Amino acid sequence: MAKKSQFETIEPVGARVLVLKDEPKRQTKGGIALPDVAEIPTITGRIVTISRQVEHDEDMPLRQYDKIIFHPKNAIPVDFEPDNQLYVVPVEDVVAVFRTKPVGDEP
């Protein structure tokens, strides 16, 4: 009997990051509940893992656990865990990083 292999990690290759996409919004800021067909498209998420190329590139301001805005056109969905919306995203499709302080101002 062949044993089914179980993957434990995903490591992006090249200039890519693995992103956990945020849940789509089901309610407006004013509190109005939206039906499923009218969800506001979400293109934000958290970086779960970065590739070695991105990690060693000092000009690339991306770090693990950063919240980002990304362009979803080239994002590749990953069916790794049924509950999570994971995507491999090329770094050129990351359009913004949310920060509380500028990158160079860490103590």
| Domain-wise residue ranges, the chain | 16-27+36-99
- CATH homologous superfamily of 16-27+36-99: GroES chaperonin (2.30.33.40)
pLDDT > 70? residue 22: yes
Average pLDDT over residues 8-34: 81
d(C-alpha 107, C-alpha 104), whole Å:
9
Find, among 18, 23, 22, the residue nearest to 87 by Cα.
18
pLDDT (tens digit per residue) in 33-65: 766 655 556 689 999 999 999 999 989 989 999
d(C-alpha 87, C-alpha 47), whole Å:
10
Find, among 8, 7, 44, the residue nearest to 25 by Cα.
44
> For all residues of the chain together, what is the average pLDDT?
82
pLDDT at 88: 95
Q: Which long-range CB contacts under 8 A does 21-27 form with residues at least 24 apart?
A: 21/45, 21/85, 21/86, 21/87, 22/46, 23/85
pLDDT at 84: 73
* DSSP label of 39: P
pTM of the model: 0.72
pLDDT (tens digit per residue) in 66-79: 999 999 889 999 88
